[in-house]
Amino acid sequence: MSQALHYQSNLRDILFNLFEVLKIQENSLGKGSYSNLDQDTVQEILSTFEEVARKELAPSFVESDRVPLKLDSDGNVTLPEGLKQALKTYYDGDWQKLELPEHLGGSAAPPSVVWSAFEMLIGANPCVAFYAFGTFMARIIDRMGTDAQKKRFLHGLCDQRWGGTMVLTEPDAGSDVGAGTTKARHIEDDIWELEGVKRFITNGDFDATDNIVHMVLARPEGGAPGTKGLSLFIVPKYWVNEDGSLGERNGVYCTNLEKKMGLKGSSTCEMTFGDRGPARGLLLGNVHSGIRQMFHIIEQARMAVGMKSMSTLSTAYLNALAYTKERVQGPDLQNIMDKTSPRVAIINHPDVRRMLMSQKAHAEGMRALCLYTAFLQDQVELAGGHGAPEAKALDHRNDLLLPLVKGYGSEKAYEQLSLSLQCFGGSGYVQDYPIEQYIRDQKIDTLYEGTTHIQALDLFFRKVARDGGETLRSLLGEVGQTLAEIEGKEALADCHRYLSAAVGDFQAIMMMMLEKVGESLYHVGFQGNRLLFGLAELVIGWLLVRQANIAAEQLAQGSTETSFYQGKLATARFFCTQVLPQLKLTRELVKAGDLQLMDLDEACF
């Protein structure tokens, strides 16, 4: 198998989600700012990009891993040539403009379409996807910047292919962003000078662009402690003059490249501000609202990480599926004692089928979760955007689902990738096949943009408790509606029984958690991840059952895509019968949870 052709897309499932489940042709396309797009246009866009991703972006995947990045004494990072060519191909096709609004020269595609294309981009080569982050930074400045800042930066970010980064983490602060010590000193107007060191900055420097725009959290002199005292600054690698032209080198430099287990083509940098001359930046929007502003970037990044994990698992599964159809080894299990029995392709072995269906169910379930969340983002924009009164309920549901997309998606993909590798046997452990690189490249997803437990705490304290559980109850209400719709349908009888039981188990878990929190917040620390995973699996089970209901209708109507729709029924049944029962165990574990570990002396560990 050629590594150059590692990426296996699932465009059919993407289109199934968009047009048969979410029905964006009725609910998103042709409306508001998406009025210039229809189903045929979107299908053509995604079909064309799928070919670009497979044939032109994916070949740089291996080179990105094997050819080291180079950091020179001037703080410049050189990328492998194949990676730069892939990024050039992406920009030459104007694919970055898919997510831009029309007034910035873009296609004004809804998030459901943008994220669908992003799945294929990041599955083909995640490094290319991250180096193209400047387009999103343009949207941030367009939304929050002053008119003068827009004039200064938008042309470069949208049309001249400038890069963009989010700069939060510091060596001594880590996930505790509020402990950051990078300082900002006011010079004049909206211009400040920054001083400090940041770490783990994705794509902090690279040589495929003329400029990089860093969005940096720093504390103005005299600023309050914690996150509330932070402000957000636009700090370019090369100073940008008021008319948008490039000026002199700014005082922000990459001073170290991290040596990593995976995702090696993405330059993870230590960035030093103010050590080799003033590091000038502009206060975003000329307002001190850093952490609120940065969260718009963080939430985009968390969605991207969830999409990356899902896409990696999807292509790993499809690679494993192809291998198990080709690899002949051992007799059929029922003939194992007959030494003359013919050897069979390993897809005929029960354990291999179990592993394959587990990967399929989780990959397609995570895609359903990601694209449903993206669809909610469509509706938020059509209802007036973030902060609009008409969009409040949709906004809150999107917020509720983001920890599931990122936290559960990244953890479960890593777990399931182990099954992908297992399907290859020893061949999966060597570099003849892409699975070992998938595993190394994907592991970071559980760690950056907020570790898994940070996602769990965010879910419990900010997303559920914020509105007294109203958003969660609304979501569970829709699960109940689906249960009512499928009740009595023979083909979905198992799905109905197990999904209904899972709803009851999760509600019981929530009641127990509320009681335990009254005793100590430590209970959230112990049980938060279980709560996150339990809700994610309940929601994914619900979404897969919705898909199965549509599949059953298509089969009843005589669809010629028999295998595809039967696969949807089998996938939902597998997830409901083999994954959802774990909520009952989670219920017992939460019930049995106590605080003894917190009383244990450190010496006992």
User: Could you tell me which of 105, 294, 121 has the C-alpha nearest to residue 198?
Assistant: 294
User: Residue-wise over 283-295: b if at least 16 C-beta within 10 A, else e?
Assistant: bbbeebebbebbe
DSSP three-state, residue 383: coil
Q: What is the DSSP letter of 224?
A: P
Beta bridge partners, 195, equal: 183
Asked if 492 and 545 touch (Cβ cutoff 8 Å), the reply is yes
Beta bridge partners, 445, equal: none
User: Could you tell me which of 586, 496, 574, 493 has the C-alpha nearest to residue 536?
Assistant: 586
Q: What are phi and psi of 225, to 5 degrees?
A: -70, 165
- Which DSSP string do the residues of 446-485 spell out, in sequence order? GTTTS-HHHHHHIIIIIIIGGGTTHHHHHHHHHHHHHHHH
* Distance in angstroms (rounded) separating the CA atoms of residues 339 and 362: 37
DSSP three-state, residue 321: helix
User: Could you tell me which of 163, 154, 169, 98 has the C-alpha nearest to residue 130?
Assistant: 163
Count how many residues are written for the chain: 605
Task: Determine which one of 50, 56, 449, 537 is catalytic.
Answer: 449
Q: How many CA atoms lie within 13 A of 393 on its CB side?
A: 6
Alpha-helix runs per DSSP H in 557-581:
562-578
Q: What are phi and psi of 522, to 5 degrees?
A: -60, -30
**Is 449 one of the catalytic residues?**
yes
* Distance in angstroms (rounded) separating the CA atoms of residues 96 and 98: 5
* Distance in angstroms (rounded) separating the CA atoms of residues 120 and 284: 32
Active site residues: 449
